[in-house]
Structures are given as C-alpha cells and as structure tokens.
Amino acid sequence: MVGDMTYANQYRSTGGKGVPCFSCSFPDAPIRESYQPRWDGWGRFMEPITSKIPLMVIEGNHEIEPQGHGGEVTFASYLARFAVPSEESGSYTKFYYSFNAGGIHFIMLGAYVDYNRTGAQYSWLEKDLQRVDRRVTPWVVAAWHPPWYNSYSSHYQEFECMRQEMEDLLYRHRVDIVFSGHVHAYERMNRVFNYILDPCGPVYITIGDGGNIEKIDIDHADDPGKCPSPGDNHPEFGGVCHQNFTSGPAKGKFCWDRQPEWSAYRESSFGHGILEVVNSTYALWTWHRNQDTYGENSVGDQIYIVRQPDKCLLQTTSASSLNCPAGRCPSAMSISGAHRAVISGQLFWKVLAIMCVVLICTVEAHAYQHS
C-alpha cells in the first residue's frame, strides 16, 4: 500500500531531483495541474512499476484540476487516464468503485464528490456493502484520500463532515480496515467508532508517507502550541464540521493534550505497507520505513488484525446503540516492531503482489500547494 508518493512536475527518472516551479512566476502560464505534458511525463516515469503491478487508484485533492474560466471542469485528467472497474461494481463512475482481490472486498470512496446520505455515492455504497459475500471475501477494506482519524496537525479534522455522514454505515457493515493518505506521515489507529475505542470498529491506517516534495508531517495536534484552531483546515470539497470531543480525557476540547487513546502508533517517516491475508480470521499488516532493509528482518510497525464475526455481528440499523458488549468483540493483536510472525501451513494472500493501491494524490501535478 502506497499513498502520496509522487508529484508529476517534481520527479525525474535520473536522480529523483525536483525541478523549479517556473509556472509559479507567470500568472498567464498554464495551470500546473492541468498542463497535460506533466501528466504524460508522470505516466512514463511510473511505467516500470505500472507495467508490472496492477494499479488501483482513487482521486485526491491534486486531481481536482479545475479548468475553464470558472473552474467548472474538474478531474479531467484523472477521468481520462485511469481505468477502474466502475461498471463491474455498479457505480458507473471512476470517483468510487469496488473490486475483489486476495480474499478482500475493496471499496474505493471519493472524498471530493458528494458523500451525503442523500447522494448517489452513499446509495451505491449501501448497496455494495449489502452485496458482499463474506464466504468469498471475508475481509472488507475501504480506502479514500483524507483520513477521518488523524492526530497530526496537518489536515486535522479536515473531513469531519464525511466521517459524520458515512462512518455509521461502514461500522454497521463491519468494515475491517480503512486506508487513507493526505497526511504525509504514518499512523495506525486502535479500533474506533465515533472517537471512542470500540472493538467492533475498523482499524484506520494513514499511509500518506510515500514521499514527495512537501516533506514529512511532524507536528501533532497534541504537541504544545500545535493544536489547530477550529476552522483552520478547510477541505477542498464539502463543508466544515469541526467539533470538540464529547467524551473521554479530551472532553470539551478540540485537541488532546497527549497522544489520543485511539492513536496506536504514529511516526514521521516515509514508507509503505504490506497487507497479507492469512485466512478469514487473521491478516498481517506490516509497515516499512523506506530506509528499512528487508534482509535484516526490519519493520517499522506490525500488527495482526483479527476478525471475529460471531462477536461483532452485521447490523442493519443505526450503529448509535449497537456498540459491541464489553469483552465480546475482538481487538487487534499488536506485535513488537522487530518481530515478524510466520504462520506455517496457512495460505498467505499477498495483496501487494497482486495490487498496489495509490490512495492519495495519484498524480500530484501541483507540488507547491500544500495538500
């Protein structure tokens, strides 16, 4: 799993060096995100990877690419250049779709198109979740660009509106894992629902640390003086729904004064992750820093994610009153960062071998505007 890994106008095949932003100095220059030779160059640069590894993508903020006098044309390059199974999944749009791979039903959602409960995406998502056959794909993994759960100052509570609209639906259908990017760092959450630890909630993972010219995000919202003011982080789409916490140690506050209890592990390093489905109960998630050496058995973070559907039942009504009873639902089993588990006699579905999911800013042509 890789997110936020390149900017089309900043990287070249020789040396990976950036180039100056010449168009920034000329008001009449083509908008960098809509300058098509940059997209062509990015495609050629990525070809050694994309020609060998099937790629599934989802749009990020740098794909909005407003064109026209009023910016009425958006996502033109993303829609023209990438093929996704939209018809097969019944969405008939590249903004959101689903597919099966390696014992997993993947759901790719769009954060920059309508996600309200009255909209087409929500209606499609509800039907898609209802069609999942857990006998065929016992695992359900969702992915979209901006994280809902994020303890970094960057993009803090930026897409709270989307969370408030969609989280209940994902929770009721027991989505197992959620991947996002946007924040240029790594963070893995404990199982959580509505900011409360919940053993039936998904494991949220931010993997926006693929590497880019904007450097790594290092400030946490709970660091002294680093809590954003409500309204600081405005999304490119949707409203602003920032809110103070209503329970727990941060009740009545906009930020925690320590690492939130729902944040299990966070690190400001560039890297990538590998998800290995062992069977219908266990999946092994491993995050590697870019500087880690595979031969030395080195990992940055590793965890077994455990499913127990007999404890966390699928629900068909609102999740507000359906939290799992205490002690009856599973939690993820942490493994020390230096330990890699091997379960003999089990079939490992190595998802990375089949697919590389670029979660965020698939072709980030705009290198100087903070994502």
Integer Cα distance of 345 and 103 in angstroms: 17
* Among the listed residues 337, 280, 351, 345, the one whose alpha carbon sits nearest the alpha carbon of residue 303: 337
Which run of H or E residues covers position 46? helix 36-50
Angle made by CA atoms 309, 310, 316, in degrees to the nearest 5: 70
SS (H, E, C) 137-198: CCEEEEECCCCCCCCECCCCCCCHHHHHHHHHHHHHCCCCEEEECCCCCEEEECCEECCEEC
Q: Which amino acid is at 240?
A: V
Residues designated catalytic: 155
Residue with tokens 């000329």: 26
User: Is the dihedral angle over the CA atoms 193, 196, 202, 203 positive or is it negative?
Assistant: positive
Q: Which residues contact 61 (CB under 8 A, 6 or more apart)?
A: 112, 145, 146, 182, 236, 361, 371
Q: Is there a contact between 185 and 256 (Cβ–Cβ < 8 Å)?
A: no
Integer Cα distance of 216 and 270 in angstroms: 7
263-267 and 349-350: which strand pairing? unpaired
